[in-house]
Structure 1
Amino acid sequence: MPACPTCASVQTVKNGRIHTGKQRFKCRECGRQFVEDPANPPIEQSTRDLIDKLLLERLSLAAIVRVTGVSERWLQSYVNQKYYLTPKQVEVPQKNPGRLTMQLDEMWSFVGNKRCKQWIWLAMDAESRAIVGVYVGDRSCRSAKRLWQSLPPVYRQCAVCYTDFWDAYAQVLPSKRHRAVGKDSGKTNYIERFNNTLRQRVGRLVRKTLSFSKKLANHIGAIWYFIHHYNASLQD
Structure 2
Amino acid sequence: MTTLPCPSCGSLKVVKNGLIHNGKQNHKGKDCGRQFVEDPQQKRIPPQTKVLIDKLLLEEIPLAGISRVCDVSESWLQEYVNCKYAAVPQAVNVSFKKKGQLTIQCDEMWSFVNDKGNKQWIWLALDVATREIVGGYVGTRSKQGAYQLWLSLPGGYRQCAIAYTDFWDAYGCVFPKKRHRPVGKETGKTSYIERFNCTMRQRVSRLVRKTLSFSKKLDNHIGAIWMFIHHYNSSLQD
Decide: shared fold, TM above 0.5: yes
Deviation at 1:3, TM superposition (A): 4.0
SS of the aligned residue for 1:24 comes to strand
Indicate if the aligned counterparts of 1:144 and 1:169 stay in contact, CA closer than 8 A.
yes
CA distance in 2, matches of 1:52, 1:229: 11
> Could you tell me which residue of structure 2 aligns to residue 216 of structure 1?
218
CA distance in 2, matches of 1:31, 1:116: 52
- CA-based RMSD of the aligned residues comes to 2.1
1:71 to 66, 70, 73: 73
SS of the aligned residue for 2:89 comes to coil
Overall identity of the aligned pairs, in %: 65
CA distance in 2, matches of 1:147, 1:121: 6
CA distance in 1, matches of 2:171, 2:116: 24
1:107 to 101, 104, 109: 109
Superimposed CA distance per residue, residues 149-185 of structure 1 (whole angstroms, 9 cap, x where no aligned partner): 0111111112110001100001100111111111111
Superimposed CA distance per residue, residues 116-161 of structure 1 (whole angstroms, 9 cap, x where no aligned partner): 1100000001111110101000100011000100111111112110
CA distance in 1, matches of 2:157, 2:14: 58
1:132 to 126, 131, 134: 134
**1:80 is matched by which residue type in structure 2?**
N
SS of the aligned residue for 1:136 comes to strand
How do residues 120-159 of structure 1 correspond to structure 2 at under 5 angstroms? Answer: 120-159=122-161
**2:139 is matched by which residue type in structure 1?**
G
Q: CA distance change for structure 1 residues 176 and 13 in 2, over 3 Å: closer, same or farther? A: farther
CA distance in 1, matches of 2:214, 2:49: 24
Aligned length: 234
Deviation at 1:22, TM superposition (A): 2.8
CA distance in 2, matches of 1:130, 1:32: 47
1:193 aligns with 2:183: no
Q: CA distance change for structure 1 residues 36 and 100 in 2, over 3 Å: closer, same or farther? A: same
> Could you tell me which residue of structure 1 aligns to residue 95 of structure 2?
93
CA distance in 2, matches of 1:32, 1:172: 60
SS of the aligned residue for 1:43 comes to coil
CA distance in 1, matches of 2:193, 2:125: 7
**2:236 is matched by which residue type in structure 1?**
L
CA distance in 2, matches of 1:110, 1:55: 18
1:17 to 13, 16, 19: 19
Indicate if the aligned counterparts of 2:92 and 2:135 stay in contact, CA closer than 8 A.
yes
1:34 to 30, 33, 36: 36
Q: Which runs of 5+ in 1 are unaligned?
A: none
SS of the aligned residue for 1:59 comes to coil
CA distance in 2, matches of 1:157, 1:29: 64
Indicate if the aligned counterparts of 2:205 and 2:214 stay in contact, CA closer than 8 A.
yes
SS of the aligned residue for 1:134 comes to strand
